[in-house]
Amino acid sequence: MRIDIITVLPELLKSPFEASILKRAIDNHLVEIHFHNLRDYTSDKYKSVDDYQFGGGAGMVMLIEPIDKCISKLREQRTYDEIIYMTPDGVTLNQQIANQISLCENIIILCGHYKGVDQRVRDMFVTKEISIGDYVLSGGELAAAVLCDAVIRLIPGVLGDETSALTDSFQDNLLAPPIYTRPREYKGYKVPEILFSGNFPEIEKWRDEQSYQRTKERRPDLLSDEH
Ligand code: ADE
């Protein structure tokens, strides 16, 4: 998979890809990440990427021209399955959306800044608008990093244990069950006996019950028909 990220702040985005699972995925050529600084696509001496809103109002708007130039250049080189714009008014990211995107070959992620992009960018280029939650960040970069992490870990071969992404919370609309490791008892807090039984069908059953109980208590909305 190839991900092209268009941003005015590439430095804000680099570190999540320089450690742990994402770094390994890049090193193993399972994913390629390319950053594009919008200022490299400007045509005036100030390298402007934004301007005042038509009609008045506080906040700057990202110009269409540098974004068009950047996207057009990328599209000359390959076709893209999705051009994703990170914005608080997009659809809220969930596991299903991450699963869908993980099947793409090439995607572009556009990070919004200031008040956001000129609406015509959305009309002309964007195929998906994604929010990571009902709160407003200073820009789309951190949201793009979240999306990339959620997607990249689903690419086959990225996680050491092939099955572990499938047992994540949300993959089956249930939260994950409690997990334990050594020691068996810590300051009076004990690991449930069933986990030492060696009876794997019973352990699986216990985990399923715990998942269901946890989901019922914390996220009953996941158990409704809409999911
Ligand atoms: N940009 C600013 N806030 C955002 C959010 N919540 N999700 C995605 N992009 C954003």
List, for residues 123-136, the tens digit of each pLDDT value. 999 999 999 999 99
Residue 129 and residue 43 in one domain: yes
How is 157-210 classified by DSSP, letter by letter? TSSSSTTGGGGSTTTTSSPPPP---S-SEETTEE--GGGGS--HHHHHHHHHHH
Residue 111 and residue 207 in one domain: no
Both tokens assigned to 42: 């400007």
Residue 162 lies in a domain: no
Atom of ligand 1 nearest to the CA of 133: 6
Q: What's the CATH number where 91 sits?
A: 3.40.1280.10
Domain finish residue from 118, 152, 186: 152
Cα–ligand 1 centroid distance for 213 (angstroms):
32
The strand ranges marked E within 93-177 are: 106-111, 128-131
The phi, psi pair for 127, rounded to 5°, reads -105, -20
The amino acid sitting at 217 is E
Tell me the β-bridge partners of 85.
110, 129
Pocket of ligand 1 from Cβ distances under 6 Å: 86-88, 112, 131-133, 135-137, 140, 143
> Which pLDDT score, from 0 to 100, does residue 168 have?
79
Residue 163 lies in a domain: no
Give the domain range for residue 105: 2-152
Using an 8 Å Cβ cutoff, are 99 and 45 in contact? no
The closest residue, in CA terms, to atom 10 on ligand 1 is 87
List, for residues 23-74, the tens digit of each pLDDT value. 999 999 999 999 999 999 999 999 999 999 999 999 999 999 999 999 999 9
> Which pLDDT score, from 0 to 100, does residue 163 have?
58
Residue 123 and residue 202 in one domain: no
Cα–ligand 1 centroid distance for 90 (angstroms):
8
Atom of ligand 1 nearest to the CA of 135: 6
Structure ipTM: 0.98
Averaged pLDDT, 100-116:
95
Annotated binding site for S-adenosyl-L-methionine: 112, 132-137
Cα–ligand 1 centroid distance for 11 (angstroms):
18
